[in-house]
Amino acid sequence: MAPERLSWDIDDYKEMLSYIDPDEYDDWVKIGMALKHEGMPLGLWDAWAANSTKYHPGDCEKKWNTFNESAGGVVTGGTIYHLAQANGWKPQWKEISLCGELPEIGMDYGFVNASFARESFKEPDDSYDPVADMKQYLRLLFKEDEIVGYCTSFAKREDGRITPKTGTYTRTAGSLLKALSEGGVAAAFGSGATKNEGAFIRFNPLDGNGEGNSNVIDRRYCLIECDDENIPPETQYAIIKELQLPVKVLVYSGNKSVHAIVHVDAANEKQYRERVNYIYEICEKNGLKPDPQDKNESRYSRLPGVRRGDKWQHIIDSDIGFGSYDEWHEYIESLNDNLPKDVTLADIWNDMPPLADELIKGVLRQGHKLLLAGPSKAGKSFLLMGLCVSIAEGIPWLGLECQQGKVAYVNLELDSASCFHRFKDIYEKKHITPKHLNDIQVWNLRGYAAPMDRLAPFLIRRFKSKGYKAVVIDPLYKILTGDENSASEMAEFCSYFDKVATDLGVSVIYCHHHSKGAVGKYANAADRSSGSGVFARDPDAILDLTELKIGDAESRYRNLHPDASCSLTGWELTGTLREFPPLNMKRLWFDYPIHVVDNENFLASAKYAKGTGGATEPEMSLDEIIESILICQPEEVNAVTADEVGLDTEDKAKKAKPKRYRVSLGDDGNYYVFKKGENVLYTSNRKRFRVTGKGVKEISE
């Protein structure tokens, strides 16, 4: 067995790259960014790109030098991993599976407690009519013109058991029914059916040329039979009913088993095999243990209406469970979703479940997720380390009460020595006497980072059942799975945080960087994190840092705090919370290595630092502008300036036509859309105005 792998080396990347087409420009860029992020050499990217028909020497190096993660747009090795997999690559090492580690959907299929399953059935009495049973069986399984295979003659083996001889496979169900009506069992199936040795019948119709699998003309049914002496027929019957197997007819074998003839409804041999295997797997997982030799479509089953020793082979039940395989399969999959039970409000109205404890008062509950976002060098890691200290010691964090408990800090960015020194520096700067150092567990993974889908099982395994209150992952970009700008891929990525939180019962806390120019571009702090908007919607709490111009506030702070660090910065902390009222904005000092609340209000009048103030919404496309701008009044047009947004309605890559529209931003904050050459102004209600030197006039249709 190949060893488990948590991270990849240069040979792994070479192998993965061999499966990816270098001719796709977007993939070319993503792979270059990912390789640089993972510390791989430029030559690896260049050697792979050289296989492209578009390759030009030097292009890779020029592009490589433009990659700047501090500006946003981080791509990790996980992107290469997934692109290679999508093109048929399969890793040679052992994959780290989530099975058994996480609450994975669809992993069990066990619904029945076989230990308590019992369903009685009656033995036939003196009024039993074997002919009626035979007729019912034939009518349930066959059309009258379909050929039936059966056998009523046997050979005895040395161990005393009997085996069927060559059977009959030329008679139709209609002819057998007629013979039963006119002459009884012997007339229909021969004298062998009356010798108390039992009899066999094939449950699928044949072509009349033989009795093998290739002679079956319609793969409607399969046989489920369990010969395990520890599972009595009554238990077998009960399991079959509880599973609601799509049983057409159920026959007692006259010995230690029941024979269930189960709908398969297969269109071809391949589908028959797949469906039968699925049925057998479900039965096995629920304690029935069917005989694997009974899987073929031409298998013999027990014919009812015939004695086997002193007992009758007889029909116990018919049309059990669902009427088709498809209906039953859908039912089983719905049971197997492993999702919580749905309830009505009436179920819990008078007995409401308790809310999870508040790990951070007014911000985060136990088991929920928190995202800390901010620009590069905002001290996010220091802030999270400070949070770890506050949780472990049970002291406030930024003035917010924290519940005392154990916390795990997963360090993906710092070397281990630097990480440990930072924690000690924080304790000393805050003048905290350490009382709970054993409650901070540090896992240093610099150089071992892997995408979250691979790291999650290790997190679960390492921290399970150890009573942690929180797991802090720092930073997020080191474990990104897939493209951070893809909503679907980031939704999947974030789901792993849910699984970790659910399985460990912990709060998951992580930090992420702003996208380039995010604060100036997005008024809503929740939208500033780099990548997909999923990051703004997934966490239960988002705390966002915005830099401030500290000006003369610095000197006032230093006068009061002579031991302040040589480099002070000011920050505004805002919160977007799902469970609590909005967080009151806090202004902070980053006084290395800790963040301190500005209780003296020195930063009260501080403005946003360069590039962070005057937040506006991002530029919109032409259609979005026309649809969404406020309906302007004609007299407002006089406020229009030449401040062009400069959107182009044509595809620039095609170099088709010059710009046809000018989109201007008025002093009143509204957008105005002009059609070139016509001086026509469009508004959101699709009204049009002619702009001339004399003024503005609405254009009638």
Strand, helix or coil for residue 671 = strand
- Please state whether beta strands 168-172 and 147-151 pair in parallel, antiparallel, or not at all (unpaired): antiparallel
Which ranges of 481-533 would DSSP assign to H, the alpha helix? 487-504, 518-521
What separation in angstroms does the CA of 302 have from each of 127, 223, 258, 305? 21, 10, 9, 10
* pLDDT of 435 over the 50 cut: yes
What separation in angstroms does the CA of 99 have from each of 102, 104, 443, 453, 458? 6, 7, 23, 12, 12
Higher pLDDT, 106 or 70: 70
pLDDT for the residue numbered 104 = 42
Per-residue H/E/C for 376-387:
CCCCHHHHHHHH
pLDDT for the residue numbered 693 = 57
pLDDT for the residue numbered 306 = 95
Q: How do residues 585-610 score in pLDDT, each as one tens digit?
A: 999 999 999 999 999 999 999 998 87
Q: How do residues 613-640 score in pLDDT, each as one tens digit?
A: 434 333 444 444 444 333 333 333 333 3
Q: How do residues 492-509 score in pLDDT, each as one tens digit?
A: 777 888 888 888 999 999
Strand, helix or coil for residue 625 = helix
User: pLDDT grade, residue 136 (50/70/90)?
Assistant: very high
User: 358-547: which CATH number, 3.30.1490.120, 3.50.30.30, 3.40.50.300, 3.40.50.720?
Assistant: 3.40.50.300
- Domain boundaries defined on the chain: 10-86, 116-335, 358-547, 622-698
Instruction: Please classify residue 331 by burial: count the beta carbons closer than 10 Å to its beta carbon, then call 0-12 exposed, 13-18 middle and 19+ buried.
Output: middle
User: pLDDT grade, residue 196 (50/70/90)?
Assistant: confident
> Whole-angstrom Cα distance, residue 245 to residue 258?
14
Residue from 301, 327, 168, 315 nearest 246 by CA: 327
Mean pLDDT of the chain: 81
pLDDT for the residue numbered 486 = 67
User: pLDDT grade, residue 671 (50/70/90)?
Assistant: low
pLDDT for the residue numbered 350 = 92
Lowest mean pLDDT among 263-267, 652-656, 696-700: 652-656
Q: How do residues 207-263 score in pLDDT, each as one tens digit?
A: 999 999 999 999 999 999 998 888 999 999 999 998 999 999 999 999 999 999 999
User: pLDDT grade, residue 679 (50/70/90)?
Assistant: low
Instruction: Provide the token pair at 398.
Output: 């930024």
State the sign of the Cα–Cα–Cα–Cα dihedral 412, 414, 415, 419.
negative
For the chain, the first-to-last Cα distance in angstroms comes to: 76
Superfamily per CATH, domain 116-335:
RepB DNA-primase, N-terminal domain (3.30.70.1790)
> Whole-angstrom Cα distance, residue 553 to residue 570?
9
Residue from 84, 114, 106 nearest 8 by CA: 84
Strand, helix or coil for residue 194 = helix
- Please state whether beta strands 468-474 and 406-411 pair in parallel, antiparallel, or not at all (unpaired): parallel
